[in-house]
Amino acid sequence: MTQTQRLPAAIEQWPWGERTLVMGIINVTPDSFSGDGLVDQLDAIVARAQAMVEAGADIIDVGGESTRPGHQPVPAEEELRRVIPAIRALAAAVPVPISVDTSKAVVAEAALQAGASIINDVRGLQADPAMATLAAEAGVPVIIMHDQKIPSADRLIPDIVRELARRIDQALAAGVRWERIIVDPGFGFGKTPDLNLLLLRRLGELRALGRPILVGTSRKSMIGYVLGTPPDDRVEGTAATVALAIANGADIVRVHDVPQMVRVVRMTDAVVRGWRGFSSA
């Protein structure tokens, strides 16, 4: 398979609007909801990431703490033990940017020193007051996610937009540059399955924030809610949500099943964006 065009080093030069970027998920946890966690298996972690890049992943996202419902919080020391060796190994093995999925500034800082170049904070800068300052001082892109409970369908978009706008302002006040902010509406975080489906339909309204949108629906419970399948049997459901997310304005999709979703992204981009950045057979 032809590889995806490599991202420029500076986020300001990323091809926003030209094609959808694919972020491949590497969980270095023992309790990943999707059952794909790899802990203390550096060879397997590197092999999985290399396969993702070969299949067309633009970014590799590494996380050492599960955020599934009912997860047990992980101390910073344990998260560091899981994440840092993996990022160090990946930085030497793959030619794409590495994102660290964490809400702890101490973990993010160590990850950046080990070779990561993006902070993906599922708590949207709210769990650790030092995170925004770190992102600003490091000069790296930061993904700010919405994770608050939504009380009703009529509050869905207004509450997400208002809260993400507040968090964007917080990042800007800390010195993060506007061009380095990415937003994530937080599928599965504080939202019922029905609200997640509604959010996917109305995703385009988040364009009002003026920042690129990352969508993470891969294998999530909203798909199991509709199809009645376990997390490892949600490829088709994920594909449907990825295609719809792109049609409704997503700029990055965060996925487990990279080879399949790269094909979905390319086909959807060809329709939605008219992108022809790969060779045809």
Cα 240 from Cα 155, distance rounded (Å): 25
Q: What is the CATH number of domain 17-272?
A: 3.20.20.20
The catalytic position among 104, 123, 191, 220 is 220
The number of helix segments (H) and strand segments (E) in the chain equals: 9, 8
Cα 259 from Cα 214, distance rounded (Å): 19
pTM, whole model, 2 decimals? Answer: 0.93
Check pLDDT > 70 for residue 244: yes
Residue 38 CB partners (closer than 8 Å, separation 6+): 26, 27, 28, 44, 45, 48
Largest Cα span, the chain: 51
Q: What single DSSP character describes residue 257?
A: -
User: Does 254 participate in catalysis according to the annotation?
Assistant: yes
Give me the percent of the chain exceeding a pLDDT of 90: 86
User: Does 177 participate in catalysis according to the annotation?
Assistant: no
How do the domains of the chain map onto residue ranges?
A: 17-272
Q: What single DSSP character describes residue 213?
A: B
User: What are the tens digits of pLDDT across the range 255-266?
Assistant: 999 999 999 999
In the chain the first and final C-alpha atoms are separated, in Å, by: 10
User: What are the tens digits of pLDDT across the range 155-197?
Assistant: 999 999 999 999 999 999 999 999 999 999 999 999 999 999 9
Average pLDDT over residues 118-126: 97
The catalytic position among 180, 234, 254, 266 is 254
Task: Indicate the length of the chain as a whole number.
Answer: 281
